[in-house]
Structure 1
Amino acid sequence: MEPRFLFPHRFKVIGWLIAIPSIILGLFVLINDLSFDFLTVKVPFNYLFADEFLSSDDKGNEFSVFNFTDEIAVIGSIIGLLLIAFSRVKIEDEYVSQIRLESLQWAIYLNFALLIIATLLVYGLAYYMVAIYNMITPLLFFVIRFHYILFFKNNDKGTEHRPIRPTEL
């Protein structure tokens, strides 16, 4: 059966090139509260969810201030991980499709089990951080497990499936 909704194989490399810097940027934003000044934008109206609620310039004009560093990190991480997760491998057969399906199911189960545990154990502003991480963890869990199974896990003896070589990804 031919998978219909997968990206071409070349998108996997593009995904890695986007995801790795975006995830690193996101970690710096979360841990060190990093923001780039050139990504700060002032808009001439009062926006309720702005970084700075309301500022004014020398003339008394009010404006809202936004910094898009964290948005770029999240969007880049999501796009990169989507491209990695849902790009074809060079030889896309039924075995790879089965691993893809099982990895996706496993990632969703693990993600929501961790979310339930965090809901019971984490409170306040720390739970907000759990929600932020929860945006990319299903994709991250899927990518890790899918590539682990393809690269490292040996097939059980007696099965007719061949191991996937790294050159086929």
Structure 2
Amino acid sequence: MKTDYLISNKYKIPGWILLITGIIAGVFLIASGLESNLLQVKVFALYNGDSLFSDNEGFFKIIENSIIDEIITLFIIIGGLLVGFSKEKVEDEFIYKLRKDSLVWAIVFNYMVLIIMTIFIYDFTFFNVMVYNMFTPLLFFIVRFNFLKSKA
């Protein structure tokens, strides 16, 4: 069976390390109030629209920013991709079917949850839902795939 989109199995453990570290750090950051001055550095911004009265508003700016939330985001996304799209030790037709079914289920389930959130969540809280939603399809897929794999 041809699975060109999968990467080597050796990336699964580093993926789990990145994913779990990112999730724990993300939960800690959220629980602490989402404001952190940790790792405050100058960064290149494609667009900075921090405030209406800022002199530093516009495209292609160097700004000072805490990059801890960006690092956590990258850990979760890269770790999730490594875990979700690393080959299994035995990659057969059954695993392929579980992977495909889990991916379809995760996308459908994610959008059902997003529809419910769109109907019942408003204002800035909805923005938070949309931020978290960039992680949920991948996380739903990983959870579903590993659940089905463990049941088999």
Query: How many residues get paired?
Result: 143
Q: Secondary structure at the residue paired with 2:130?
A: helix
**TM-score by structure 1 length?**
0.77
TM-score by length of 2: 0.85
Matches within 5 A, 1:131-146: 131-146=130-145
Q: CA deviation at 1:44?
A: 10
Q: Which runs of 4+ in 1 moved over 6 A?
A: none
Aligned equivalents of 1:104 and 1:79: distance in 2? 17
Q: After the TM superposition, which residues 77-96 of structure 1 pair with which residues of structure 2 at under 5 Å, given as runs? A: 77-96=76-95
Partner residue of 2:5? 5
**Aligned mates of 1:83, 1:44 — CA distance in 2:** 27
Higher Cα radius of gyration? 1
Q: Which structure 2 segments of 5+ residues have no match? A: 56-61
The Cα shift of 1:31 comes to: 2.3
Change over 3 Å in CA distance of 1:44–1:13 after alignment to 2:
closer
Q: One-letter code of the match for 1:133?
A: Y
Q: CA RMSD in A?
A: 2.3
Q: CA deviation at 1:64?
A: 3.8
Q: Distance in 2 between matches of 1:4 and 1:42?
A: 39
CA contact (8 A) 1:84 1:143 kept: yes
User: Residue 36 of structure 2 corresponds to which residue in structure 1?
Assistant: 35
For residues 21-100 of structure 1, what are the structure 2 equivalents within 5 Å? 21-32=21-32, 33=34, 35=36, 37=38, 39-42=39-42, 48-50=48-50, 64-100=63-99
Amino acid at match of 2:36: S
Q: State the 1:48 CA deviation.
A: 2.8
Percent of aligned pairs sharing the same letter: 39
- 1:132 maps to a residue whose letter is V
